């Protein structure tokens, strides 16, 4: 199955890591590839490492995105994982790092036993159509609007 968590609201990565924890709890092989991330280690990455969940983080440049995308291909070929999370991968479309046709072709090659989750704002229509589950996270209210900064253990 293919899942997409998209939209302008907070919680897409959090939802994906919740699924990773659930899968790891049932001894499924889990790999998380994070795209467009900074250098700091967020709480979910720290917790995932304690649970034996593989997390690979890549920066904001096209070369970083390409390296993460290559790792996704290796994950397919290895066949050791039942869950692959492509966190913030959707930004690759926005920045032109990947063509829709390439990802659709990649999705055609997914083994049946591999669940793939994509997160990020503005998921393109073709990815939404191909997905089996699409959750759009929309903010109704957010404390950032009141000037409250990101908090350790809550936002990162």
- 35 belongs to a structural domain: yes
Helix (H, G, I), strand (E, B) or coil at 43: helix
Which CATH number fits the domain that encloses residue 42?
3.40.50.300
* Count of domains forming the chain: 1
pLDDT at 83 (0 to 100): 98
If we measure between CA atoms, which residue out of 81, 73, 82 comes closest to residue 107? 73
154 located within any domain: no
pLDDT attached to residue 155: 87
**What are the per-10-residue average pLDDT scores of the chain (156 residues)?**
96 97 97 90 91 94 95 95 98 91 93 96 95 96 88 88
152 in a domain, yes or no?
A: no
Structure token pair of residue 151: 């908090």
Domain that holds residue 6: 2-146
Residue found by looking up tokens 């191909």 in the block: 130
Q: Which helix or strand (DSSP H or E) is residue 121 part of?
A: none
What pLDDT was estimated at residue 40?
A: 78
Q: Is residue 156 part of a domain?
A: no
């Amino acid at each position: 199955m293919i899942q997409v968590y998209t939209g302008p609201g907070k919680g897409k990565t959090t939802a994906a890591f919740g699924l990773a924890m659930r899968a790891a709890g049932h001894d499924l092989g889990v790999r998380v590839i994070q795209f467009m991330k900074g250098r700091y280690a967020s709480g979910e990455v720290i917790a995932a490492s304690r649970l034996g969940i593989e997390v690979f983080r890549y920066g904001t440049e096209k070369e970083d995105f390409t390296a993460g995308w290559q790792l996704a291909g290796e994950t397919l070929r290895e066949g050791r994982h039942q869950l692959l999370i492509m966190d913030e991968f959707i930004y690759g479309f926005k920045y032109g790092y990947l063509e829709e046709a390439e990802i659709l072709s990649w999705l055609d090659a997914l083994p049946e036993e591999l669940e793939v989750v994509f997160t990020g704002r503005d998921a393109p229509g073709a990815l939404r159509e191909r997905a089996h589950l699409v959750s759009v996270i929309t903010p109704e209210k957010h404390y950032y609007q009141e000037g409250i900064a990101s908090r350790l253990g809550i936002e990162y």
